[in-house]
Amino acid sequence: MTPIILTAGDLTVHILTWGAVVQDVRLSGVDHSLTCGRDALSDYQGGWRYHGALIGPIVNRISNARVKIDGMMHELERNEDGRVHLHSGKHGTHRQNWTVVDQTDNAVILEIKLPDGMCGLPGNRVVRATYTVSAPATLTMDIIGTTDADTVMSFANHSYWNLDGAADWSGHRLQIDADRFLPCTPDNYPTGEIVDVTDTPMDFRLPKQVVVGKDHFDNNFCLSDNRLPLRDVLTLAGVSGIKMTLATTETGVQIYDGRDAPAPFKGLAIEAQSWPDAPNNRKFPSVRLPEGCTYEQTTQWRFTR
């Protein structure tokens, strides 16, 4: 498994063609990776399959494992507890090898083609992901997706972050520019409620320290009702003084504490994306992508210390 190495300024990032994975993120002068990665491809094909991967064509959960498009119901794989559809199932983009379209010292363009019916969804879809590293220490991901039939599309990078290289993410300070969040059912998909964060444990509008065992996350924080120009939405700061600022065009950001990951609580998953289970909730921003239209996402990570 030979990674594609991108470097500019103080940042070096390793990208894999398998799953379009962000495998390793190194800041000059820091002796550990800022993200949770593995050296063996077999790990990414197994229990570590979500770590750093670009997940689609529809990320997160679909509660009833079906999507209605133009009056037709499309059945999806029920790969969680035999009832829920999670992360596009066994044929999702995180479990496929992407093609390198172009590569330079600081950028790579990856492409994947999803034929009509793959992952249970209509449309011959073409998706390109561009990872770019720029000085002083910024990683940018641009995604463009097209389809020749009405479909649904929602991608997210699923990296787990631990800025201290510690045993877990305890002690990090988290700030999220969201005044609403989506509570979840015991099956971890949204109840359909959109709840104000005021006077709840989900109020991170000001930086707040998070602690394993005290703070529990597998929720979407609602950033906006429509996709917006790139803007800062979240900061994560380690005890070490390393800080990550997340900017995105997306309407939401999912925070997951990693409780069921192969290394529980080692990293905090931060996934800029559309709101989960949107096809089953009319009040949520739509993830529908009509024929001939283009899906576009930009997500950016900036690092300082």
pLDDT confidence of residue 149: 97
Distances (CA, A) of 223 to 115, 219, 283: 32, 12, 14
Does position 1 have pLDDT exceeding 80, yes or no? no
Residues whose CB is less than 8 angstroms from the CB of residue 58 and which lie 6 or more positions away in sequence, other chains included: 67, 88, 119, 121, 152, 153, 154, 287
Is the domain spanning 4-304 CATH 2.40.160.60? The answer is no
CA dist 11 → 28, 98, 180 (Å): 6, 23, 33
pLDDT in tens, 235-282: 999 999 999 999 999 999 999 999 999 999 999 999 999 999 999 999
Collapse the DSSP code of 93 into the 3-class scheme (helix H, G, I; strand E, B; otherwise coil) and give the result: helix
CA distance 90 to 175: 33
In the chain, where the domains are located:
4-304
When pLDDT is cut at 50, 70 and 90, the band that residue 93 belongs to is very high
Q: Flag whether pLDDT at 305 surpasses 80.
A: yes
How many residues make up the chain in this entry? Answer: 305
Q: Report the percent of the chain where pLDDT is more than 90.
A: 99
Indicate the pTM of the whole model: 0.96
Q: Which residues pair with 176 in a beta bridge?
A: 234
Span 8-40, pLDDT tens digits: 999 999 999 999 999 999 999 999 999 999 999
Give me 66's structure tokens: 């079906």
